[in-house]
Amino acid sequence: MLTRKQHELLRFIQVRLEESGISPSFEEMKEALDLKSKSGVHRLISALEERGFIRRLPNRARALEVLRQPEDTTTKPVRSAPAANEAPVRAPQVPAPANDVIEIPLHGRIAAGVPIEALEGHSLLPVPAALLGSGEHYALEVSGDSMIDAGILDGDFALVKRTNTARDGEIVVALIRGEEATLKYLRREGTMLRLDPANAAYEPQIYGPDEVEVQGKLAGLLRRYH
């Protein structure tokens, strides 16, 4: 079942695609649904994508495809190849990516060196939609230099997909003993968890399984030049 807003957004996208062949921008969707911010649009799109109603075309911030409507039971059928005496169907022109920006929560600073307290904040950070995939995201300001060999610098904004699971070798936000957070590579050694830096000046940190809680994994970076 879809919520009323999810249903309204799905219908709005479908109508715009039928009329112009181009999906609406985040700003247009925000105004059509009378939402306060583009982050609400992002959450609705992520929910529709996870439920299989739409999909985002790769590397395009504004290219959406409607796969099915709520009353449908199957996904959109694939067209068969045209007969020899039929003219080929011309593929629709892929629209150029738009500069859509959404706002995600900014939750203070996170250590990329010695762990420091992760401060909870209530501010929002504008982020290009193309940097984020599906799911819920938040941002943390990087403090320290222990991940410089991974291209993560002091002052960068880590864009984090909220999750409590991660595979070996992924860069995660790890909450240590419920108090301090750090950004590191996650690796498992038997029953222990190892948090690896990306700087030879720092040593790996090894903890018991009950001492570390994964709170997200790195989805992207945002860097400002002053």
Catalytic residue among 30, 161, 184, 217: 184
* Nearest CA among 126, 168, 164 for reference residue 37: 126
Q: How many whole angstroms separate alpha carbon 164 and alpha carbon 169?
A: 15
CA 171 to the chain's CA centroid:
14
Q: Token match 């994964």: residue?
A: 214
Active site residue 146: yes
Strands 205-207 and 192-196: antiparallel
Q: Tell me the Ramachandran region of residue 78: left when phi exceeds 0, alpha when psi lies from -120 to 50, beta otherwise.
A: beta
Helix ranges, 57-154 (H)? none
Choose, from 23, 39, 46, 146, the residue flagged as catalytic: 146
Q: Give catalytic residues, as residue numbers.
A: 146, 184
